[in-house]
Amino acid sequence: MPLIQKRNYLKNQVSLALGIEKGSLIDFETTGLLKDKEHEIVGFGYIVANRLIILGRRSKEKGPYYSEIRRVIKKLPKPFYAYNVGFERGILGIELGISSETSRFIDLQTPWRSEADAKGLKWPKLDELIPEQEEHFEGIRIGGKDIPGLWKAYLSSDSENLLRMIMQHNLADLLRETILLLLHPEIAREEK
């Protein structure tokens, strides 16, 4: 994955063989959940048309990185697709100060959440619906729960390999979310 090094972030851009017809698919990697005391953004990825872009935060100071994310978000075509939209919308508001209208988001979790509710089951996590390939090849599997520890390790070591692991997880999430959108194209027609 060829990386472009900027002062406050690393950037990876990939052209995909498939793409998002309308809008943007977004995904944040953070140091915690909204219910946690801390939930700083350390990774931000998005897909527009057939371009997948990941911005991995390099700086301890969040301000310059957040400014870049705000600049990007303002230019992204709407609607925003995400898995568990409440989290992405919350991070936009709390961490970036960007208010968002409900109609500008489409939740990729909707078909599975409805099915789980009907069966009295817990809502499925993304990796429960589509596991990462490392599970099958006995490789290192980075889950969302690993991101805070990887970020702390990165801050104390400045090892860009740790930052690349966060970015690789962000990329995997975006690809899996794209598969969900392809499996349920009716989600894209839900925009009001």
**Hey, how many other C-beta atoms are within 10 angstroms of the C-beta on 135?**
10
| Average pLDDT of the chain, as a whole number | 87
Distance between CA 92 and CA 30 in Å, rounded? 12
Instruction: Give the domain range for residue 15.
Output: 3-190
Residue 80 predicted with pLDDT over 90: yes
Peptide bond into 111 cis (omega under 30): no
Taking only the tens place, the pLDDT of each residue in 31-66 is: 998 888 899 999 999 999 999 999 999 999 999 999
CATH number for the domain spanning 105: value is: 3.30.420
Mean pLDDT of the 6-27 span: 93
Question: Can you give the pTM of this predicted structure?
Answer: 0.88
- pLDDT at residue 136, rounded to an integer: 41
pLDDT tens per residue across span 129-176: 777 665 444 567 788 899 999 999 999 998 999 999 999 999 999 999
DSSP label at residue 40: -
How many domains in the chain? 1
Alpha helices, H only, the chain: 63-75, 85-96, 110-119, 126-129, 147-157, 160-183
